[in-house]
Amino acid sequence: MKTILFTLLFLTAAATLPASVNPSDLIVRADPASHTLILRTTTGIETPTTLKIVDAGGLVLHSSKLEAGDYLSQRFNLDALPTGAYSVVISDVLSSTVQPIVITAEGVHADAALATRTFFPQVNLKDKLLTVNYLNATGHSVSIRLSDGFGNEVIADRLPGTTSVQRAYSLENLPAGEYFVTVNSADVKNHTTSISLN
């Protein structure tokens, strides 16, 4: 099968996507008067989002959902969170923001400079044209794999170190059916999206 590769303008594709929570929009602080941890966003949530508080061992201590239009504004009793290291994780379909925090007897310490944001690959299929857009912050190599419903590899593409991935693949010669697009990089391990060809 002959695969036609196109280079797409990532900015054009990204302009149509809603923004997810930016680390600079997340406020983490303690309220000594009520002995609570306060989590807030300075902007509204644009897509359904999940908030998690995770301990240093990876155990999820709290999970809640936020809908489009909501603002994050929650308090957590510090007595329920023993001293130690935690992560506040805010994820949606576009990205995941992780803010490390440390709870001590003196309060909560959250350095905004330590917050990270990982973008997820955006996979779209329109008129048998498959597009993959991905902001690869680490700049390491990226592999893109298309497999059919039986696990047979149809397309394998490996890109050397790049920070912006914009790929397009013509699927006109493929039979109808269920396919799986898997993007693998240093930041995103085996991010798989299901697509259906009619």
pLDDT at 17 over 60: no
For residues 92 and 133, membership in a common domain is answered with no
CA gap 47, 66 in Å, rounded:
8
**pLDDT tens digits for range 70-117:** 999 999 999 888 899 999 999 999 999 999 999 998 889 999 999 999
Q: Looking at the domain assignment, is residue 190 inside a domain?
A: yes
Q: Which domain holds residue 53?
A: 23-118
CB burial string 123-142: b at 16+ within 10 A, e below: bebeeeebbbbbbbbeeeeb
For residues 180 and 190, membership in a common domain is answered with yes
Q: How many domains does the chain have?
A: 2
pLDDT at 10: 31
Return the structure tokens found at 110. Answer: 């959250």
**pLDDT tens digits for range 154-193:** 999 999 988 999 999 999 999 999 999 999 999 899 999 9
CATH number of the domain at 143, please. 2.60.40.3080
Sheet holding 73-77, edge to edge: 26-31, 36-41, 73-77
**pLDDT tens digits for range 55-67:** 999 999 999 999 9
Q: Which of 118, 134, 151 is the C-terminal boundary of a domain? A: 118
Residue 161 CB coordination number (10 Å): 11
For residues 91 and 128, membership in a common domain is answered with no
pLDDT at 18 over 70: no
SS3 category, 171: coil
pLDDT at 138 over 70: yes
For residues 102 and 155, membership in a common domain is answered with no
89 beta partners: 52, 98
| pTM value surpassing 0.85 | no
